[in-house]
Structure 1
Amino acid sequence: MVKKKQNTEVPINGLYDEDGKLFGEDDQAPGFEATDADAEDVEEVTEEEEVSLSQEELVALCRESVCPECDVHKEAEGIRLRALADAENVKKRLLREAEELKKYAGESVLADLLPVLDNLDLALAHTDNLDAACKNFVIGVDMTRKLFLDAVKSHGLEAVEAARGTEFNPEKHEAVGTVEEDDLGDNVIAQVVQGGYILKGRLLRPAKVMVNKA
Structure 2
Amino acid sequence: MSDEKIKQAAEQEAPEAQEAPQEIDLSEEELEALCRERVCPGCNVMQEADDLRLRALADTENVKKRLARETEELRKYAGESVLADLLPVLDNLDLALEHAKGLEACADFVTGVEMTRKIFLDTLERHGLAPVRGEQGGEFDPNLHEAVGMACQEGVPDGCIAQQVQRGYSLKGRLLRPAKVMVNKTES
Structures share a fold, TM > 0.5?
A: yes
Counterpart pick for 2:138 among 150, 158, 166 = 166
Q: TM-score, normalised by structure 1?
A: 0.67
Q: Which has the higher contact order (CA 8 A, sep 6+)?
A: 2
Aligned AA for 1:66?
R
Q: Counterpart in 1 of 2:77? A: 104
CA-atom RMSD, angstroms?
3.1
Task: Indicate the percent of aligned positions where both proteins have the same amino acid.
Answer: 59
Q: Radius of gyration: which is bigger? A: 1
Q: Counterpart in 2 of 1:184? A: 156
Give the structure with the larger helix fraction: 2
Please give the secondary structure, in 2, of the residue aligned with 1:66.
Answer: helix
Q: Counterpart in 1 of 2:51? A: 78
The runs of 5 or more residues in structure 1 that have no matched partner are 1-24, 26-41
- Give CA-to-partner distance per residue, 1:85-135, whole Å, 9 cap, x none: 1100100111111111111121111111111001011112223442x2222
- Tell me, in whole angstroms, the C-alpha distance in 1 between the residues paired with 2:148 and 2:42: 67
Structure 1 residue 63 and structure 2 residue 32: aligned?
Answer: yes
Please give the secondary structure, in 1, of the residue aligned with 2:165.
Answer: strand
Deviates more, 1:132-141 or 1:107-116: 132-141
Structure 1 residue 126 and structure 2 residue 99: aligned?
Answer: yes
The runs of 5 or more residues in structure 2 that have no matched partner are 1-8, 10-14
Q: Counterpart in 1 of 2:3? A: none
- Tell me, in whole angstroms, the C-alpha distance in 2 between the residues paired with 1:178 and 1:100: 37
Please give the secondary structure, in 1, of the residue aligned with 2:157.
Answer: coil
Structure 1 residue 151 and structure 2 residue 123: aligned?
Answer: yes
Aligned AA for 2:36?
V
